[in-house]
Structure 1
Amino acid sequence: MESHRVGQDDGGRLSQSPILFLGTEHRHYSRVLEMLNARASSYRVQWCQSLSLGLDVLARRRFAAVLWDSRLAEDGLVDSLRMVVTQVDAPVIVLLEDDAHATVQHCLMAGAQDVLSWREMTPDLLHRTLDRACGRYAALRDRRFREGIDSLTGISDRESFYEHVAQAIRRAERDGLSLGVIYLNIDDFRRVNQSLGFRAGDQLIRMVAGRLRDTLRGCDAVARMGGDEFALLVDNANELYNVIEVMRKLRRAFSKPFLLGQRSVTVRLSMGAAVWPTSGQSVDELLRHAQTAMHEAKLDEGAGFRFFSDTANQEVQYRLELEADFRQALRGNKLVLYYQPQVDLESGDIVGMEALIRWPHPEHGLLFPGDFLELAERSGMIVPMGYWVLQRALQDMQHIREAGFGDLHCAINLSFRQFQDPKFIETTIRLLLASEVPTHCIEFELTESAMMTDRQHTRQCMEQLADVGVRFALDDFGTGYSSLNYLRKLPVSTIKVDRSFVEAVPEDEDDCALVRSMIDMAHSLRLHVVAEGVERPAQREVLRRWGCDYGQGYLFSRAVPLDELLEQLASAQQATGTDSGHG
């Protein structure tokens, strides 16, 4: 007999305990066969000499164990082993040519049930290892059943998921948070069973469960609810957008096909979501409503996911359309910058301005940063948007200088996500040096939280930009939790007192004492102070007496387009009868 023919054992007989040997050479198969035949054994061996063919056989037939010769690895030892372990419902024993401790550990961590060395393997050792591996695997399946783990996939089962959600609801009630439940189904799964067989269907279910588990955050629970249906818990989902992002992340993850043996299978998911407490108060309600939304998504071909409730679906649709519109606006140069002057409180001169982005939406009118910055952050468009703002601000600053107002600075907001861009420093310096605007006229504003994110990297970036002349301002000062000792080490020249502290000045004594102490402290550190939200003459006067350097707010001007800013500068210059750069 040709023992490498798939579907036969050593005597052409069916076996009670079939073993699949995955190896490249007949002599290795013969050695395994001889060792098993050396003792009266219930194990019978089949041989596959390619990994893809072996996976195809595993999809169609159940085996008691898999003996895998590590020399068969096609994509590296660990990656190939992980692929085998993920797709087989049986213990995998690795046969190593190299029995180095590190290699053994890597195999065990990748999911091998045991590891044997070709050099040390004997008939008794092989039999004992197979018996032990099969026994341990059977015990593992029993324990999973008792612990609420789905025996096919290794993830939570229905009952365990119920308890996960119940606990999450109790936490959400206590902490005033929200949570989401996503119910999903594999589209056209019946087609896989009909065309490739039920073993292949089980294999695909295991692979889908593995990809779900790998894609989700550590705090999210995933469970198999039965058949080809799964459920996910999105814990701490304070905003609807968090649940949307999870479903979009899953859609991206499942765009990559699965390899079932020698066949490539693309899986599409239909997903429905329900959010506690608006879409259901109990576990049963949440799951039922999420399942209802999933069926609606399946009926609405191409939708991919739906929320339970028309209101939620309308909001989701609005957010998705707004994100698509924003991407198009950014690419099409449809955004604009407005400028809000910063005024010297002693002289009344305009000394600079803050660049503020606006979006003239064709349907929704002029949108402010609060309407679209969150979607820009979450979608990653905040980074190219930041470069666009810098480039446009530099162009506008050049126009301002050409109009005769050269001694002004421009404050530009930075997001902490921009610091995470590997090309942030290189691109920013290139844009700065390509402009004719002196770098000392540019001031980057960062919030306390941005400065405290990845401190060492942030500090290095700030120092590199400071080396070319850029200045930095600490925005919304007093609202974060930064250490003054840490701030002293950063190249910051200005702090901006948040409007929440300024609005009650001079009426509220506590806020007055707090703002005055901020000004004194900043001056002791040789920093300039800008007060935000100055709207009344009384506020300006008190801040001036306390020594606050600059003010910004509606008392002086709202944020205006470039042409209006130039008019303000020209009017101020005529009123003072000067031709200086301050206006």
Structure 2
Amino acid sequence: MTQTAATTTDAPIRALVVDDSEDDAFLLKAELAQRGVAIDYRRVDSELDMAAALAADDWDLVISDHNMPGFDALAALEVLKRSGRDLPFILHSGHISDQLAISAMYDGVHDVIPKGQYERMVPVIERELRGAAARRAVRQADDRIQQLSYFDKLSKLPNQNLFCTKVSDWLDGALQRGRAVRGALFVIDIDRFLRVNASFGYESGNDIICQISVRLLEVLQSDVVLARLGGDEFGVFVPGIGERASAEVFARWISKVFEAPFMKDGIELFLTPSIGIALVPVDGTQVYDLLMNAETASAQVKRRGGNGFRFYDRTMNAASAERVALEADLRHAVERDELFLEFQPVLEAASGRIVSAEALVRWNHPRLGRVPPDRFIAIADETGLIVEIGDWVLNEAARRCHAWHEAGFTDMNVSVNVSAMQFGQPRLLESVRDTLARTGLRPGCLMLEITESSLMQDAESTAGMLRALRNMGVRISVDDFGTGYSSLSYLKRFPIDVIKIDKSFVRDLCTDEEDAAIVRAIIALAHSMRRSTIAEGVETEAQIELLKRERCEYFQGYYYGRPMAFAQLLERLESQDAPVA
């Protein structure tokens, strides 16, 4: 606290008086009070008592006599220094030489006031209290700067800067001591965390991050370095772990943190981690190498569906470099005219005629040749390129369908897959509207295929988006039905035209009774709600016969044709309408 003579109504100054005379201490208090400076004091006269007083209470300043039996002002100053307290120290003595006074000032005494000169004492106290307050403000500012620089504001955990500093210090210290350096660095990435933000808002996401931080703190020992690296990513460094088996046990221990649901407004949220592991010294002895390698391993886990852990190995860097190069090339694929469409026919069960086709994007890389979709679609999704590519696919598919109409096949429809990222953006409506206007395609001939999981990310926004698309006349199908939520309630709420039965159920339809039962249930459900069904992955006559018995309306699969070029499908359309000789 800071008091001055002008603030006599403030709480008294707390002074630690070092003096062997109680009378002198009381006189000091009385004289200062007459001059408008109120003090509460405690008198001490030995090193032990002074150290105890400094440890027990907060003080504003120290006023010390010089000559006391077995104790003097310079010894008292040393006690103050050892305590770590930054308090003004005023030497108040009747017997001290000028040379000793100057020497004391050099040692750290703030001022020297001869006993009895109380008028001079008042401005010195005011000055030194102001100085102490200024130094305290500077320390608080420094502490705040350090807090912002080294600690995460949300979780209060160390941030990446402090994490790297602590790990580096430990690694350097171990190397300097000549000991075997062993440790493990774990990167924990929360799977599909963006869904929490998208569904419940960023405040809820922040609350979940704090819950995760608390759980990790509870299970990790004090010698472990834990940090929030940023976003939904945490870092853990465990000194001493040198074997994969021990690191694996620790990774499983971390995974247990996520077994119980996280609660938000009474709702249970289940989250899973993707954990990457880098070992010291096998995967590096510098913190940034270890961190990069663990992040690479974590990304591998996430690309494989998450909810697991993986150790770093050197082949991952080669794969990552290839992935980066592929991403760079993909960014120019549209403008360089490297993308093209293939179409897989959809046949009507009753007539056996091709009535529609699913548009599938392909990439003809100038150096690598045809790149499989499972290699570049995932990259497009992660980087956001899927939005630009999706716009191109939509426009090209509509243009090709209109070309079938101009060739005389006016009943042909085309279906286009819409990614979760595309579907979550309002510009999808504008893109569809512009495409229909640009190509002249009738809205009812365009069907957008959306996966179950995409539909359920935000039910309210989904319903609004689907209604807007239906108002344009565009048709909607649920792709991969049965592999996601399979909720009857959303089928009833959402304006859906077609349900596509996932090929995983159709594949073993004739040999697996459970799959057959699921297919029958999906078809019956669709019919009860006046929706049509398309069976994907049809490859055998036996599958066709069974699906016909259950009154599935449309078939799609290799039995009727693999994805093919526009011209090839046009030939198929022409041949099915050719007169029989």
**TM-score, normalised to structure 1's length?**
0.55
Structure 1 match to 2:234: 220
Give matches, 1:542-581, under 5 Å. Answer: 542-574=546-578
Structure 2 match to 1:367: 371
1:213 deviates by 8.0
**Percent of pairs with identical residues:** 32
Partners of 1:380 and 1:561 in 2: how far apart? 27
Structure 2 match to 1:396: 400
1:547 deviates by 0.2
1:510 deviates by 2.1
Question: Is this contact kept in 1: 2:158–2:227, CA < 8 A?
Answer: no
1:513 deviates by 1.8
Question: Is this contact kept in 1: 2:164–2:288, CA < 8 A?
Answer: no
Question: Is this contact kept in 2: 1:531–1:552, CA < 8 A?
Answer: yes
Return the letter of the residue paired with 1:494: V
For the pair shown, which has the larger CA radius of gyration, 1 or 2?
2
Structure 2 match to 1:511: 515
1:409 deviates by 1.0
Question: Is this contact kept in 2: 1:161–1:223, CA < 8 A?
Answer: no
What SS does the aligned partner of 2:473 have? coil
1:458 aligns with 2:462: yes
Give matches, 1:93-132, under 5 Å. Answer: none
1:472 aligns with 2:468: no
1:365 deviates by 2.2
1:153 deviates by 5.1
Give matches, 1:514-533, under 5 Å. Answer: 514-533=518-537
Partners of 1:447 and 1:433 in 2: how far apart? 26
Change (3 A) 1:512 1:214: closer
What SS does the aligned partner of 2:370 have? strand
Question: Is this contact kept in 2: 1:344–1:351, CA < 8 A?
Answer: yes
1:35 deviates by 10
Structure 2 match to 1:418: 422
CA RMSD of aligned residues (A): 4.6
1:41 aligns with 2:55: no
Question: Is this contact kept in 2: 1:16–1:42, CA < 8 A?
Answer: no
1:549 deviates by 0.3
Partners of 2:514 and 2:129 in 1: how far apart? 86
Question: Is this contact kept in 2: 1:352–1:410, CA < 8 A?
Answer: yes
Structure number with the bigger relative contact order (C-alpha 8 A, sep ≥ 6) is 1
1:496 deviates by 0.5
Question: Is this contact kept in 2: 1:357–1:368, CA < 8 A?
Answer: no
Q: Unaligned 5+ residue runs, structure 2?
A: 1-104, 111-121, 172-182, 192-225, 240-250, 253-274, 294-310
Structure 2 match to 1:288: 285
1:317 aligns with 2:321: yes
Partners of 1:513 and 1:432 in 2: how far apart? 40
What SS does the aligned partner of 1:434 have? helix
Partners of 2:130 and 2:334 in 1: how far apart? 68
Q: Unaligned 5+ residue runs, structure 1?
A: 1-12, 19-33, 47-62, 69-80, 92-108, 112-146, 177-211, 226-234, 237-274, 297-306, 578-583
What SS does the aligned partner of 2:561 have? coil
Question: Is this contact kept in 2: 1:344–1:550, CA < 8 A?
Answer: yes
Return the letter of the residue paired with 2:340: V
Aligned residues: 369
1:451 deviates by 0.3
Question: Is this contact kept in 1: 2:506–2:536, CA < 8 A?
Answer: yes
Aligned mate of 1:377, from 377, 381, 396: 381
Structure 2 match to 1:65: 137
1:430 deviates by 2.1
Return the letter of the residue paired with 2:516: C
Question: Is this contact kept in 2: 1:15–1:44, CA < 8 A?
Answer: no
Deviations 1:86-136 (A, max 9, x none): 646899xxxxxxxxxxxxxxxxx999xxxxxxxxxxxxxxxxxxxxxxxxx
Change (3 A) 1:418 1:567: same
1:527 deviates by 0.6
Question: Is this contact kept in 1: 2:185–2:235, CA < 8 A?
Answer: no
Change (3 A) 1:425 1:293: same
Deviations 1:2-33 (A, max 9, x none): xxxxxxxxxxx999799xxxxxxxxxxxxxxx
Change (3 A) 1:36 1:86: farther
Question: Is this contact kept in 1: 2:164–2:287, CA < 8 A?
Answer: no
Deviations 1:302-322 (A, max 9, x none): xxxxx9754222111110111
1:167 deviates by 9.8
Give matches, 1:2-151, under 5 Å. Answer: 38=126, 40-41=128-129, 43=131, 64-66=136-138, 87=145
Question: Is this contact kept in 2: 1:449–1:482, CA < 8 A?
Answer: no
Question: Is this contact kept in 1: 2:185–2:237, CA < 8 A?
Answer: no
Partners of 1:16 and 1:452 in 2: how far apart? 70
